[in-house]
Amino acid sequence: MRIGFVSTRFHGTDGVSLEAAKWAHVLEHDLGHQCFWFAGKLDTDPDVSHLCPEAFFEYPENLAIQRALFCGSRFREQSLSDAVADFSTGLKMELRGFIDRYEVDLLLPQNILAIPMHIPLGLAVTDLAEEGMPILAHHHDFSWERARFKGGCAGDYLERAFPPAFSERFLHIVINSSAGADLLQRRGVPSAVIPNVFDFEQPPSETDGYGDDFRDQLGIAADEVIVLQPTRVVPRKGIEFAIELCARLKVRLGREVCLVVSHTAGDEGFEYLDGLMRLAAQLGVRVLWVGDRVSDIRGNDLCGNKCYKLWDAYPHADLITYPSLYEGFGNALLETFYFSKPVVVNRYSVFVEDIEPHGFQAVTMDGCLTDEVVNGAASLIEDKALAAQWAEHNYRICEKHYSYSTLRGSLGGFVDELSG
């Protein structure tokens, strides 16, 4: 099969891009299919990619449409409806060009039929589904899970395409059981659950030395505790808890503690970042916002500063914080288990329902940073043997439930079903 991945972006280290790359690896290397890429921002192989800048969620015309749909009146002007229709028609033509160019047999939309960050693109893909194009839709998070999509005048678009209530030549894949139940209740369509995965069959390789100077380059002393927050800077990540934890660990351990935040802000504005910076200053916590130095590639930035992959940062961390208020699943949590690091986790709903029952060992909190949580985190930093024991236990669980073998078994059957 020739499979076309479609999204607003396949670029960088956001969860959707990372998970799409894993799916493509399994589809190509293990199942023998060919994969092609369509998005508004790409870092995939140009020989198998179709770049359409208008498909990026930050494309100016799309941003204007999104503002008008979700931040204005609940009544929609005809001019806005016309703008959406025209934009969607243009994107559908681009998608048809992509399908024809690479002789695509099956489209695999990544989250664009779930979260309405680009209404015209979702409508364009839905049109293709209505015309008979086989679709394997991977849904990471839905519009009803985000308060900012509950107002405005886009209700009919959301009902039609986010996601569409198709079941013929259309398979819905969700990443947690709660999302599957919501989809059935709200749209009347069944779905299959494929959790996020990681290549636990291949343990991390020995360091090649590139990241050995991570501390020195970022000005972190050898005896300073590194707490790593490996997420984007958006409100649902709960980074305020990580800052408070570092302040209290500094007192509890009697050592300097540095919080390293690996990703950038901006996907949902900069107000949250501003508030976090004020909080860190008030609590006397040193935070390194290193999104400009940690990305998906190594090298140097325009100022000559050395840049690292996120995987170069994990080995230096004494503790990982994952205090999310909500997650569709939790890619960074799997990465933490992969790199055998101790972690503090806020018990977000998917963790409680789908992940925790497997018996992972982690310091957990319930929306409140208690003394017990702080002491538990400090114990894992001080007792390396205990941390290693917990890490080994967690890795074995992931090998069984969240490895590529899980993905191989599921994806192979779904592609066969859609191919007839």
State whether 158 and 29 are in the same domain: yes
State whether 162 and 224 are in the same domain: no
Compute the CA torsion angle 259, 260, 264, 269 (nearest 10 deg). 0
- Is 104 a domain residue? yes
Q: What is the pTM of this model?
A: 0.84
State whether 281 and 370 are in the same domain: yes
- Is 185 a domain residue? yes
Q: What is the pLDDT of residue 380?
A: 97
Q: What is the pLDDT of residue 297?
A: 82
Q: Average pLDDT of the chain? A: 94
Q: Domain of 383?
A: 210-401
Give the tokens for residue 224: 């300073």
Cα separation, 184 vs 199, in Å, equals: 30
State whether 224 and 163 are in the same domain: no
- Is 49 a domain residue? yes
Residue 269, SS3 per DSSP:
strand
State whether 184 and 238 are in the same domain: no
* Tally of domains in the chain: 2
State whether 287 and 334 are in the same domain: yes
- Is 205 a domain residue? no
Nearest 5°: CA angle at 184, between 55 and 347? 80
Cα separation, 271 vs 265, in Å, equals: 9
Over residues 241-254, mean pLDDT:
97
For residue 163, give the CATH number of its domain.
3.40.50.2000
Run of H or E residues at 186? helix 177-187
State whether 51 and 149 are in the same domain: yes
Edge-to-edge strand order for the sheet containing 294-295? Answer: 294-295, 306-309, 299-300
Q: What is the pLDDT of residue 295?
A: 80
Q: Establish how many alpha carbons lie within 13 A of residue 212's alpha carbon, considering only the half-sphere containing its beta carbon.
A: 5
- Is 365 a domain residue? yes
Residue-by-residue DSSP string for 216-243: HHHT--TTSEEEEE-S-B-GGG-HHHHH
Cα separation, 64 vs 55, in Å, equals: 14
Give residue for tokens 């984007």.
232
Q: Are 164 and 126 in contact (CB under 8 A)?
A: yes
- Each residue's pLDDT tens digit, 363-408: 999 999 999 999 999 999 999 999 999 999 999 999 999 999 989 9
State whether 285 and 152 are in the same domain: no
- Is 59 a domain residue? yes
- Each residue's pLDDT tens digit, 121-133: 999 999 999 999 9
State whether 99 and 218 are in the same domain: no
Cα separation, 372 vs 361, in Å, equals: 15
State whether 76 and 220 are in the same domain: no
Does the structure show a pLDDT above 90 at 147? Answer: no
State whether 169 and 50 are in the same domain: yes
Does the structure show a pLDDT above 90 at 275? Answer: yes
- Each residue's pLDDT tens digit, 39-62: 999 999 999 999 999 999 999 999
Run of H or E residues at 309? strand 306-309
State whether 215 and 131 are in the same domain: no
Q: Residue 28, class by beta-carbon neighbours within 10 Å (0-12 exposed, 13-18 middle, 19+ buried)? A: middle
- Is 286 a domain residue? yes
Phi and psi of 4, rounded to 5°?
-105, 110
Q: What is the pLDDT of residue 71?
A: 86
pLDDT band at 249 (very low <50, low <70, confident <90, very high): very high
- Each residue's pLDDT tens digit, 314-370: 999 999 999 999 888 888 999 999 999 999 999 999 999 999 999 999 999 999 999
- Is 203 a domain residue? no
Q: What is the pLDDT of residue 193?
A: 94
Pairing of strands 170-174, 192-193: parallel
Does the structure show a pLDDT above 80 at 221? Answer: yes
